[in-house]
Structure 1
Amino acid sequence: MIKEEQLDNMLYEKMQKEYDLFLEKIKSEQSVKPNQAIESAYEIVYKQDILYCFEDDDLNLSYKEKKHLLSKKRPLEFLYQEWLATDCTHMQMIRDCIKDSTGHDLELTQKQKQKNREER
């Protein structure tokens, strides 16, 4: 039986290799299709983020779950496709950030305008 630490390393290395090959493919396609990197930017970022999650092992995946991922031919692609199906929470976080930031900035701007009026 493989030790859990070895399993973690094997899974991470497999996914890192998959990510590196993915980037190489995009780079090689640029000569044929110059906008390929731009069109692939979302996929690049989220595959990288998925990979980062495996660097710290904060996922608390079970041994069986890790073995299951390792058994997949392309675990990073599998997880990316799963992410695509659940992307709505990410967009809601962005919407909330925009709303909160805009509201806070508007409030500060109004306070500054009021202060300027009072100083006149």
Structure 2
Amino acid sequence: MAVDYNDLLYEKAQKEYDDLIAELKELPSEQVIERAYEKVIKENILCILEESQRDQKEAKALYLEKYPLDRAYQDWLKSDVSGTAMLRDSIDDTAKDVVKERREKQRESR
């Protein structure tokens, strides 16, 4: 039976995430708040690992990292992708949708 490195990677990342949660539970609330972004992003990375399938070569390479979840998180922090920019775009889209919905409601009420 062939080894599925996607499954192994997910299991390893899940344990790493569980360890993070256990660590956070032991910290004072101020430190937990300071690390909230890390928790959320790592949770998102974990969800992506669960939902998507990597090439076995890539999954194996990630699996062989000592802390694959933290490696992905650190790379995210260094990336040029801005979560703020994506959030700003989402808010802009929401505002446009709300304007459109209000216009449609006004037409219907006439």
| TM-score normalised per structure 1 | 0.74
CA contact (8 A) 2:6 2:60 kept: no
Structure showing greater Rg = 1
Question: Which of 31, 40, 56 is matched with 2:35 structurally?
Answer: 40
Q: How much has 1:87 moved relative to structure 2?
A: 5.8
Of 99-108 and 67-76, the range deviating more from structure 2: 99-108
CA contact (8 A) 2:13 2:67 kept: yes
- 1:12-31 deviation line (CA, Å, top 9, x unaligned): 1111111111111111112x
- 1:5-50 deviation line (CA, Å, top 9, x unaligned): 2x222211111111111111111112xxx21221111111110111
Q: Distance in 2 between matches of 1:44 and 1:12?
A: 16
Of 106-115 and 74-83, the range deviating more from structure 2: 106-115
Aligned residues: 110
CA contact (8 A) 1:4 1:63 kept: no
Q: Distance in 1 between matches of 2:103 and 2:87?
A: 24
Question: Which of 90, 96, 99 is matched with 2:89 structurally?
Answer: 96
Q: How much has 1:94 moved relative to structure 2?
A: 1.1
Residues 1:80 and 2:78 are matched in the alignment: no
Secondary structure at the residue paired with 2:66?
Answer: coil
Question: 1:1-120 alignment to 2 at 5 Å?
Answer: 3-5=2-4, 7-30=5-28, 34-56=29-51, 58-59=52-53, 61-86=54-79, 88-106=81-99, 108-109=101-102
- Structure 1 unaligned blocks of 5 or more: none
Q: Tell me: higher relative CO, structure 1 or 2? Use CA pairs within 8 A at least 6 residues apart.
A: 2
Paired residue type of 1:3: A
- Structure 2 unaligned blocks of 5 or more: none
Q: Distance in 2 between matches of 1:72 and 1:101?
A: 39
Q: How much has 1:91 moved relative to structure 2?
A: 2.3
Instruction: Let me know the Cα RMSD of the aligned residues.
Output: 2.4
